[in-house]
Every structure is written in C-alpha cells, then in structure tokens.
Amino acid sequence: MKKILLLLTFTLTALSLSSAQGYSVGDIAEDFKLKNVDGNYVSMSDYPDAKGFVIIFSCNHCPYSVAYEDRKIEIHGKYRAKGYPVIIINPNDPEVEPRDSYELMQVRATEKSFTFPYLFDDGQKVYPVYGATRTPHVFLLNREGDDLIVAYIGAIDDNYRDASAVEENYLVDAIEALLAGEKPDPDHTKAIGCTIKVADE
C-alpha cells in the first residue's frame, strides 16, 4: 500500500511540475482572450487565415524588451502578410512594476506606433500556461489542421544590444523554415531578458 501511495505521489508531482513548466516544442497551444491597448479583446481565433503566430511576452520597462521594440515592429511588418502576425503580451504585475501598467502600455504603444496587438495578461493567467519566464520570451506557433503547434521557443536573436551585430536570427530563421515547410533548427534557445514580475517575489 505504501508503495502504491508513493508511486501515486510521485506521478502527481511529476504531472504538476510538467504543467508548471509550460509548453514544449510540439505541444498544442491554447487560445487566450486578453485586453489590447485599444480597449478591445484579442484572441488568436480572431485570425482565421493566419498560418501561425509570433507570441512574444514583453513589457514596457525591461531594457531587453525596449531594445527589441524596433525589431518586433519589423518582424510583424514583414511576416504578418505571410501569415505569421506578432502578438505581444505583457505578463508583469503592475503592482510590482508600476511602469508596466495598462495605462503606460497604451502610452508606449502610441509612442512607438505599435502595429501589432499589445495585450495585458490581467491576473497573470496566460504566461504560466505558456511557461514564459523572461521578457522578451518568444513562442512561435504553427497551424496544423485545427491546432496551433509550438514550433520554436526562446530568444529573438543572439544580440539584444545591437541589431546590426546579430549573427543568428533565431526567430526569423524559424519563421522562414515554417514557410518553407520545414521544422525550425534550432527549435529552442535560451530566452534572455528580465524576469517576469509577480506579486510573491
């Protein structure tokens, strides 16, 4: 009986840890419904013709996120028409980091003329499902039938400081691979950025 209980406890713990880690490449991604800076709610189901999505967890204050803003705009401008629009989600708790409040998200979106949705993860319900840990943290999704499959997770490229010095365009290369009917290689890199701000930290 003790062995059975121990096995059950181990199994439940393993499942819990697996769930807490979020998505891996090959997993089916769940949709979400989050408030955009224009006041409207956005879901991936609003894009029935999309081939996939570039989901980036990002924010206002993090210097890594700020450094990538122009590149995010460029990627959205290039790949939205090819079926892979960018959607940015701010996962931070504004009580912990006031610079990431919804109101200041609206200000930043106007200042930078964001052309992509900039969504607020109110209550921090979405980022744990994906397993995001940093800002920025990329999840590239690819439509396969009725499902959205995680195809790449990690960094945008290998040089947040200087776009002109980038040697590995991880995200762009991954999108191009999908457009060519291939699997991204690499399909996982380490996300470099600020930790996501939560109330219990």
Q: Distance between CA 182 and CA 33 in Å, rounded?
A: 30
Could you tell me the domains of the chain?
2-195 (3.40.30.10)
- At 64, the pLDDT band (50, 70, 90 cuts) reads very high
3-26 mean pLDDT: 51
What is residue 6's predicted lDDT score, i.e. its pLDDT?
Answer: 33
Q: Distance between CA 57 and CA 115 in Å, rounded?
A: 16
Cβ-contact 139, 22 below 8 angstroms: no
Q: Distance between CA 113 and CA 69 in Å, rounded?
A: 10
Taking only the tens place, the pLDDT of each residue in 132-156 is 999 999 999 999 999 999 999 999 9
Q: Distance between CA 2 and CA 25 in Å, rounded?
A: 36
Q: Distance between CA 20 and CA 2 in Å, rounded?
A: 27
Cβ-contact 86, 79 below 8 angstroms: yes
* Whether residue 173 has pLDDT greater than 90: yes
Q: Would the pTM count as exceeding 0.85?
A: yes
